[in-house]
Amino acid sequence: MEAVVCGIDPGLGVTGYAVLRASGERMSVLDAGVCRFDEKLPLPERLGCLERDITGVLSEHQPSVVAVEELYAHYKHPRTAILMGHARGVILLSAARLGMEVRSYAATHIKRYLTGNGRATKAQVQRAIQTALGLSTLPEPSDLADAMAIAMCCAGDISAKRPMELVS
């Protein structure tokens, strides 16, 4: 079964995205990059820029599934999770407006899928991505690598025909 999957790592300064074509165990990169936003802009303006950029990527590639990392709230930085929730909400809205299926993944699940260890370091995840996709260099910046990891995890679930809880 062939699928086009878009993985998105939400952020208000930088949002990573990766569009992969998956056919069974084989995956290839169709597009990948980051959307950068001026962190000095008011929040509503940054969210508007994020919506425009993500809608553009989704409209161009028409993925079968959009995969987004779940929110993680660290007790020392609850404000970060709240702000990321805004970015994630805009991404979910963009996908919903285009009628796309959305799946959500915990960071530990993504890391376990790629490395076998739910607590893998960023460097371990980057090396796993580089190897699996046959990239000549490590995927950077980390926002891009995270988006690739999210897309790969989702594509792996699709090829294994594992049902995943949809975002509610």
Tell me how far the alpha carbon of residue 117 is from its chain's centroid. Answer: 19
Please tell me which residue in 9, 53, 146, 157 is annotated as part of the active site: 9
Q: Is there a cis peptide before residue 139, judged by omega within 30 degrees of 0?
A: no
**What is the C-alpha to C-alpha distance for residues 150 and 137, in angstroms, rounded to an integer?**
19
Q: Is 53 an annotated catalytic residue?
A: no
State the first-to-last Cα distance of the chain, in angstroms, to the nearest integer. 26
Q: Is 9 an annotated catalytic residue?
A: yes
Q: Is 157 an annotated catalytic residue?
A: no
Phi, psi for residue 7 in degrees, rounded to 5: -100, 135
Please tell me which residue in 25, 31, 39, 143 is annotated as part of the active site: 143
Please tell me which residue in 2, 31, 38, 69 is annotated as part of the active site: 69
Q: Which residues are catalytic?
A: 9, 69, 143
